[in-house]
Amino acid sequence: LASKLFHPEDTVINIEGVKIGGGNAAIIAGPCSIESEEQLLTIAKSVKESGANILRGGAYKPRSSPYSFQGMEIEGLKLLKKAKELTGLLTITEAICLDSIEHVAEYTDLIQIGARNMQNFALLKKAGKLNKPVVLKRGLSATMEEWLMAAEYIMSEGNSQVILCERGIRTFETYTRNTLDISAVPMIKEISHLPIIVDPSHAAGKWSMVEPLSKAAMAVGADGIMVEVHHQPENALSDGAQSLKPEKFKKLMENLAKMGL
Ligand code: PEP
Ligand code: MN
């Protein structure tokens, strides 16, 4: 179902007038984690002004350590809804299990399935039964074949609205958090009709690399980017080091526009 052989035209996903795929770029921006009303609304307003069309913010966090901040859960979902009412931005957040996906589908416009859950087949099947677009992140060490098969799990249950997200893979390199597999964009475009976006924040792990990697992503034909933005990255409860300050995000948007990306 994900293959271009059976569906030669690029899929365009239309969410309340915001189109993703076929030359329409999704600009997803926001904090790694939703931390408070003040934090989310401040960031939402600023990314909206800079030209984002979708607000991200984790309410359920799949943290590597059980002692790290786990997210605001339902309270966070309610804040995303409020941010949408105030800014008009579409919203996305990650579902980490069969319980949370029901809540996520109720409160947000898109469902994110994270790298760590890319092969959680029960979760993929459940996402396939919901009538909401799904952003499916590439697993930490998943091949493109495994990633497309994960998309197939969602699509074979009836949900064809899948957006792939390259977020860097594990390699021997340690200077960056992950290695952005930029070749995934043109490769996936050759074999699949699904939109593909790039998350430069989790790929790099460093805010200074977010702009160059975003430019690279758009230059090779990505259908958008997902960028972490925080107004006080030094105090962020997660991923501060890779988060852009609002003014840096604004600059990134201006520079992408200048380059015609
Ligand atoms: C995220 O986007 O918040 C996240 C946890 O990303 P990933 O699943 O790519 O690690
Ligand atoms: Mn993060």
pLDDT of residue 144: 98
pLDDT of residue 121: 98
- Spans of the chain, pLDDT less than 50: none
The reported pTM is 0.97
pLDDT of residue 104: 98
State the Cα–Cα distance between residues 68 and 211, nearest whole angstrom. Answer: 28
pLDDT of residue 105: 98
pLDDT of residue 46: 98
Tokens of 113: 């399935």
pLDDT of residue 175: 97
pLDDT of residue 191: 98
- What average pLDDT is seen over the chain? 97
Q: How far is the CA of 231 from the centre of ligand 1 (A)?
A: 19
Q: Give, in order, the Cα–Cα distances in Å from 10 to each of 162, 201, 251.
A: 12, 26, 30
Pocket test for ligand 1, best of 167, 197, 242 (most atoms within 8 A of CB): 167
Domains of the chain and CATH, by start: 13-42+51-60+70-258 (3.20.20.70)
pLDDT of residue 253: 98
Instruction: Please name which ligand lies nearest the alpha carbon of 113.
Output: 1
Q: Contact 223/25 with Cβ under 8 angstroms?
A: yes
Pairing of strands 26-30, 196-198: unpaired
pLDDT of residue 193: 98
